[in-house]
Amino acid sequence: MMRNTATHSGVRMEVPFFRPKISEEEIAEVVDSLRSGWLTTGPKVRQFEQEFAKAIRTARCVAANSCTAALHLALEALGLRPGQGVLVPTMTFAATAEVVQYLGGIPILVDCDPCTTNMSIQDAARKLDQLKSAKFNKLVSQRVEVVGIVPVHVGGLMMDINAIKQLASEHGLWIVEDAAHAFPAAWRSSPDAPWQRCGGDTATVSCFSFYANKTITTGEGGMAATHDEEVANHMRMMSLHGLSHDAWGRYSGTGTWDYKIMAAGFKYNLTDIAAGLGIHQLARAEQMRHNRERIATRYLEMLGDLEAIELPPTNRNRIHAWHLFPIKLRLERLRISRDDFVSKLRQSGVGFSVHWRPLHLHPYYQETFGWRPDNFPVATAVWERLVSLPIFPDMNDLELEYVVDTVRSLCAEHAR
């Protein structure tokens, strides 16, 4: 495809990995919260929860001050106990596995699919078998009962929900979906099947992130979504010190002054200041997803002929949130490593990230659980090829073309 390189005429630009866009309406809403006196959890949090539940078609949502907090609340509400195991992808961010350990659980890391980098269901089944046969690694010297699975939809491309549900039902596992990247996203099992939104009924609990660079943001924030009323009530109680009712009940005219401590809870409640931002971001979510998709489509068109890179997969049975645009370098066609490639991107002014160094290659996981690179051959090999390119809703054509031209020049200059 012909590309218009004349626009930036070889002039160096700075393109950030991500640039948030906060509208005037959103700023006004935050100011309104400040003026209303509801600095902490109040009516805007309730409104945000209800509108988010409606958007993903679930029954109940509990807001939290991060996705990490939402994941912790979910695992606690489902009764994870010390010594129990939870299947977690090795290809994920720290949060997905650390929350298991907050409760004394053991993350059983699982390898990834080489194309999507999502958790491999085959390897999850294999790890379950290996645990039973006591030939895994030093973990099995203590008997591990695996009780749950925490799939991650990397970059916003959803996993096959039927496959996860089948594995979970065969092994009696609950599913807590780490949907930090997957709003708004959807999947269907085939072109004839109805679309199901991520969080609609895709897991026992689905947890979303509203961190600054996520598809919608509240600065910091998260949401746990579920159809289970008991789980939702428990998560709500635990999100505010295990109190019998939250500050809204206590301080509004409808609540009473008295409260009872029902459990040793956490301090995970979202503020009205953040929720005010979230309500407006939510209203723009589809538009922002559309803009991200437009950028992804242009990248796919403009980089499609490059032999030195593999582009992220698409799937007609998925509505992709396009939180990330991860390319994979074909290192056999290049004379430089991924690390050299990204440092040259940086020198050229192009922001990037890598999602992720897999958990089993971090010192903590190696030292604590004795995982070895060959326990996860796919993730071990693929992570050295990963580069996430900039993608954000108001990325302009000039920025996009600059990124494309920089990637193309690097591939040409360092071709093997």
Binding site for ligand PLP (CB under 6 A): 66-68, 92-93, 95-96, 152, 178, 180-181, 209, 211, 222
406 phi-psi bin (left φ>0, alpha ψ -120 to 50, beta other): alpha
Would you say 308 or 312 has its CB closer to ligand PLP? 312
The distance in angstroms from the start CA to the end CA of the chain is 23
Q: Smallest distance, Å, CB 66 to ligand PLP?
A: 3
User: Which residue bears the tokens 């010190």?
Assistant: 241
Class of residue 374 by CB neighbours under 10 A (exposed 0-12, middle 13-18, buried 19+): exposed
Q: Smallest distance, Å, CB 287 to ligand PLP?
A: 22
Would you say 207 or 302 has its CB closer to ligand PLP? 207
Cα separation of 94 and 357, whole Å? 10
Would you say 181 or 408 has its CB closer to ligand PLP? 181
Alpha helices in 326-416 (DSSP H): 338-347, 363-369, 377-382, 397-413
Q: Smallest distance, Å, CB 362 to ligand PLP?
A: 15
CA 331 remoteness from chain centre? 27
Cis ω before 191 (30° cut-off from 0): no
Would you say 184 or 411 has its CB closer to ligand PLP? 184
Token pair listed for 237: 């109680």
Token pair listed for 217: 């943001």
What number of other Cβ atoms are within 10 A of residue 33's Cβ?
Answer: 21
Q: Smallest distance, Å, CB 6 to ligand PLP?
A: 37
Q: Smallest distance, Å, CB 67 to ligand PLP?
A: 3
Would you say 97 or 173 has its CB closer to ligand PLP? 97
Would you say 96 or 206 has its CB closer to ligand PLP? 96
Would you say 72 or 197 has its CB closer to ligand PLP? 72
Give Cβ neighbours of residue 332 (< 8 Å, ≥ 6 apart).
Answer: 416
**51 close to 279: Cβ distance less than 8 angstroms:** yes
Nearest alpha carbon to residue 176 among 210, 196, 206, 221? 206
Dihedral of CA atoms 92, 223, 62, 277 in degrees, nearest 10, equals 160
Q: Smallest distance, Å, CB 324 to ligand PLP?
A: 9
Q: Smallest distance, Å, CB 278 to ligand PLP?
A: 12
